[in-house]
Structure 1
Amino acid sequence: MKKAVAKKSRIGVMILSAVVSLHLAVIHDPGHAHAADAAPDLKLEVSSAILMDAATGQVLYENNADVALPPASMAKMMTEYLVLEDIKSGKLKWDDSVTTSQHAADTIGSGQLLAVNETLSVRSMFEAMSIYSGNDASVALAEKVAGSEEQFAALMNDTARKLGLSKDANFINSTGLSRIDMGKYAPKNLQGETVMSARDAATLAYHILNEHKEVLEFTKIPSKKLRETDKSPMINWNWMLEGNQSNPNFRSYVFQGLDGLKTGHTNEAGYCFTGTAERNGMRLISVVMGAKTEPKRFLETAKLLNYGFNTFEMKEIVKADTEVDELKTVEVKKAIHTDVPVVTQSALSILVKKGVKDEEIVKVGEPAAEDVRVAPVEKGEVLGKLTVTYNNQTYDVNLVAKEDVKKAGWFKLMMRSIRHFFTNLF
């Protein structure tokens, strides 16, 4: 009888332990904890799509976002990025001259505004590329930066790796044209076609907006003459620009706060669009690829952006220079007082679903490696980190010394060693 009771007791304990373990697993597994946060089916009529927070890179929605597809002229975002990098470094100036080569003048597709040996400023060429999606201007700028379009495309691929684009992302030109459309100018030393995933396009847009936000001063322009003597202006292919409110042809597509970024279309790619809009201090990046019609790419983009702005809000997780409950102090060896207070190095705000509960945002404090935590330590030195997890995405904030930490004298260190010795002994 006692054995039977004991056996039942052990079974009960095992069941209880299993239930507790399962409960803890659900609490600490972000995938489980945020399963309810799965994005709804927006019924987007595109091949792939993604929605991203421009401030943190946080992904708010995705559908087939990692499938490498032809991006058409969205590839020009990389051309824009590299030109802006050279402007920033001083290698190029906006008023530098760019002369149109035979290659640039021969390039088919959008643009075709430049004559052979025509000279314009870097700024004018950049306007032709970013407003009118000029393939000819893109090639001219690529040749200005790297000597040839093929060498520029190699630079695009190197930069793609540095910016964290996927291993599948590939560029063979500055425009996004297919190899066959390049004709005799197709690269000899670069393989494949130009392809990117929706996530790659969003990542590229993220870097442009955070490192070269001046790009928006160009992309937000609805129309502009390339030359003062031109009879007609270049019309921006982006119908959603807020600046199109007075244009009866585009008014129904206008989206409040939208000021970029890059359209694209070829027969292989379909209609693509990387958009960005800002409302109430919150900027989002959207990408749609493979829409069937030109209007559809803008209508599907509006669905994405409306979902983002209607569903999410910015929430401050921690303030800068503030103590956090998850790790108030860390142990610093050889310090006068080994428990050293730490504070956040910077603030962290992320987009969360409106009405989110605090327990859905998991915060964990972790000390830095032991060999780092040795006195003396200067105020502001990194001694740990706070990891924040929300909806399967993590963000790190450094925890730094709140004040200078002096090294203890030799006598204090010796007495501490003796105490530790006897503590461990007994």
Structure 2
Amino acid sequence: MRKKVMAIALSSVLLFLPQMASGEEESTEMAEETGAAILMEVDTGEVLYKKNEHEALPPASMTKIMTMLLIMEDIANDELSFDEMVTTSEKAASMGGSQIFLETGEEMSVRDMLKAIAIASGNDASVAMAEHISGSEETFVERMNERAEELGLEDTTFYNSNGLPADGHETSAHDLAVMARELLQYEEITSFTGVYDDYLRQGTDEEFWLVNTNRLLKFFDGMDGLKTGFTNESKYGLTATAKRDDMRLVTVVMGAETPKMRNADVSELLNYGFANYQVEPMFDQGAAVTSIPVEKGTQDSVVGRLDSNISLLHGKQESSENVTENIELKTLQAPIEKGEVIGKFQLQRGEDTLAESAIVAGETVESASWWQLFKRSTLRIIGVEPEPEDTVSDDDS
């Protein structure tokens, strides 16, 4: 495929505000009880507040956000299932700290292991899942670090899957927020992280009561995750998320002296976000935004669809201004695979990009045969527009 890019400017009247949070975050003092903090709107990724957000600190059990992300990615890719059984190794059973007291050789489903990690912060369950997925925890940790690199997380180095103290095992408030945002793409995760209490091994003599380490689930409106963390080294931390109306926020606080201080800072940050900002959904993932010519294909064009949702974030008290759509497209030559990136869609105000998404091919376009190309060319030479070829598309949406 040739890399030539053509820009198509489309004027469309949409709503957006002139000021984003970057100006306000410098003048607003919050999270005074914690060493590092960040507040992010999940849909747009906009940072609404930050404090020492790139300081590398021990995350304790907030490490498990990455562990859960890799589990959910494998489930989404059909490499793992919720009903799959996991056998506990001697190493997994020996983990200290928060645990569900797995026995060596005990079997438990992926669903229950994930429940143990999300609700009870089970260190033993984290290691059992790491070994089940990658063969060893060490190999799984390599994958954790590779995924962190893919996400552009420059403050993060993992040495285990559960967050128990280890020299050099660290991350930042910023990196945890990015991990959390990625995890929240899998909507089913909040059916685990948002549960306050549940049971494992129900109906047996070893029935185990799980109580979520995130007590704010009971008291903060809209909260449904994500993960607490505590060691003597890290002190108290929490990566929290809450959703109200169309807006989901994630906030991270690290280094609080007490759970009360941690919870107070989390509540303050989330209340600030919900009180001052709102999200306006603009386009859904999969929306058709353009039709792109295709050279030498079984059809002359392909529908371009958005690869992600497009939303705009603005302050509740701010005026709105017009924005424009901008589409950049590659010159396409068959074959084109469904889902292949073929361009970029942006919402802009002036030279500022407010939101963007990749444009992907909505269907597969095969290469035309020699005979199809010859017939098409001959008809055009004699002034007859060729009729559309009979093609089969796997996209009816």
Q: Same fold (TM over 0.5)?
A: yes
CA distance in 2, matches of 1:116, 1:291: 35
- The 8 Å contact of residues 20 and 314 in structure 2, kept in 1 or not, is answered as no
Q: What is the match of residue 78 of structure 2?
A: 90
In the TM superposition, residue 86 of structure 1 has moved relative to its aligned partner by 2.3
Gaps of 5+ in 2: 1-17, 296-302, 334-340, 362-375, 384-397
Q: TM-score, normalised by structure 1?
A: 0.68
Residue 240 of structure 1: SS of its match in structure 2?
A: helix
**Aligned partners of 1:127 and 1:399: how far apart in 2?**
36
> 3-state SS of the aligned residue for 2:125?
helix
State the partner residue of 1:200.
175
Instruction: Give the C-alpha shift of residue 125 in structure 1.
Output: 1.7
Q: Which residue of 1 aligns with 2:313?
A: 351
Q: CA RMSD in A?
A: 3.8
Deviation at 1:148, TM superposition (A): 1.1
Task: Spell out, residue by residue over 1:172-217, the C-alpha distance to the aligned partner (whole angstroms, 9 max, x if none).
Answer: 11101112xxxxxxxxxxxx5221111111111111111x221111
Q: State the shift of 1:77 in Å.
A: 1.0
State the shift of 1:234 in Å. 1.6
Higher relative contact order (CA 8 A, sep 6+): 2
**What percent identity do the matched residue pairs reach?**
38
Query: Cα deviations across residues 66-95 of structure 1 (Å, max 9, x unaligned)?
Result: 111111000011111112222223332223
SS at match of 1:225: strand
Deviation of 1:119 after TM superposition, in Å, equals 2.2
The structure 1 residue matched to 2:196, chosen from 222, 239, 251, is 222
Provide the rounded CA distance (Å) in 2 between the counterparts of 1:53 and 1:74.
Answer: 19
1:13 corresponds to which residue? none
Are 1:240 and 2:236 an aligned pair?
no
The two structures have a TM-score, normalised by structure 2, of 0.72
Note the 1:11-410 alignment, pairs <5 A.
37-39=23-25, 40-111=28-99, 113-162=101-150, 164-179=151-166, 192-210=167-185, 212-228=186-202, 229-230=205-206, 233-241=209-217, 244=218, 254-316=219-281, 348-359=310-321, 363=324, 365=326, 368=329, 372=331, 385-388=345-348, 394-396=354-356
- Report the residue type matching 1:348 in the other structure: I
Is the 1:122–1:141 contact (alpha carbons within 8 Å) kept by the matching residues of 2?
A: yes
What number of residue pairs does the alignment pair up? 334
Where does the alignment leave 5 or more consecutive residues of structure 1 unmatched?
A: 1-31, 180-191, 245-253, 324-329, 335-341, 375-380, 413-426
Q: Which has the larger radius of gyration?
A: 1
| Greater share of residues in strand | 2
Q: C-alpha distance in 2, partners of 1:362/1:89?
A: 37
Moved more, 63-72 or 36-45: 36-45
Q: Is the 8 A contact 1:389 1:395 kept in 2?
A: no
The whole-number CA distance in structure 1 between the counterparts of 2:72 and 2:33 is 33
Q: Tell me the SS of whatever aligns to 2:269.
A: helix
For residue 103 of structure 1, report the CA deviation from its aligned partner: 1.1
Q: Which residue type is aligned with residue 240 of structure 2?
A: G
Confirm or deny: 8 A CA contact 2:155 2:175 kept in the other structure. no
Cα separation, 2, equivalents of 1:92 and 1:206: 22
